Structures are given as structure tokens and as C-alpha cells.
Amino acid sequence: MSFRWPVRVYYEDTDAGGIVYYANYLNFFERARTEWLRKIGFNQEVLRQQGILFVVRDVSAKYRRSARLDDELEVSVQVEKLGKASFNISQSVYRIGDEKEELLVNGYVSVACIDSSGSPRAIPADIINTINN
């Protein structure tokens, strides 16, 4: 299942030169993953109240081109591997233009499922089933 979320670059996302600060792409990744979970029926606040938390274990990003102030972007989410208590996601950020889209950043995020005490826990079956379908 592939998912995309639109993002607009605001002044707060940029450095003094009007270019998106590199760490803010991780924020864009996070927003897209949150909206992807919401789209497939799982609100992170509701999950948290049930003692189900998703935390990033590992992240990598390859920066290809810079986004700039006021750019329209789309951030993709694609589950690559789903395990019992974790999953790996590839994410990309694209600049959306009138006639084409341009790849700006590729990323890879490993996410673990933990309980409210911070211990690893199995991803609930309903979430696994939804992701697999």
C-alpha cells in the first residue's frame, strides 16, 4: 500500500537562505506516517491510550535536491517489511510542479512497537491485517 501526503514549505521550515533545513525532512516523514496511519484507520492518540506506541528505531535519508520556501511537496509512505513488533518504511519527498514531480529526498525508517513502559510489544493483529491488505 502506497500513500502520499501533501506538505507546503513554510518560512519556519527553512534556513536563512530559504532552503528547507535538512532535519525538517524528518518532520515531513513523521507527518506523512501519522496521516497514513490515520488513513488506514488508526489514530495515534487512541493507540497511545491503549498502550500502543510506535517509535523510530533507525532512520536514514539521502538528500538529492533542496526544497524551498513555498514549494508544494508530497511525502510518500511505503511499507517495505512488516514484522511481529516492527516495520520498515521507505519514504520520499517530491516537489510537485505543473507538469512534473521532482524527487528531493529518499528515506528509510525503521519503526518499533512498544508499550507505555517502553518495552517491545507485538503490533496488534488488526493493524497488521490492515497493512497487509
pLDDT confidence tier of residue 88, bands split at 50, 70 and 90: very high
Catalytic residue, candidates 13, 15, 115, 126:
15
On the question of pLDDT at 98 being above 80, the answer is no
How many C-alpha atoms does 55 have within 13 Å on its Cβ side?
14
In terms of CATH architecture, what is 2-132?
Roll (3.10)
Give the integer Cα–Cα distance in Å for 131 and 129.
Answer: 6
> What is the rounded distance in angstroms from the CA atom of residue 119 to the CA atom of residue 51?
10
Across residues 58-85, what is the average pLDDT? 97
Overall average pLDDT of the 100-113 stretch: 97
Catalytic annotation on 70? Answer: no
Q: For residues 15 and 66, is the Cβ–Cβ distance under 8 A?
A: no
- Mean pLDDT (the chain) is 96
Q: How far apart are CA 23 and CA 132, in angstroms?
A: 30
The whole-angstrom separation of Cα 93 and Cα 25 is 8
89 band by pLDDT with thresholds 50, 70 and 90? very high
Residue 39 has pLDDT above 80, yes or no: yes
Every domain of the chain and the residues it spans? 2-132
Contact, 96 vs 74, CB < 8 A? yes
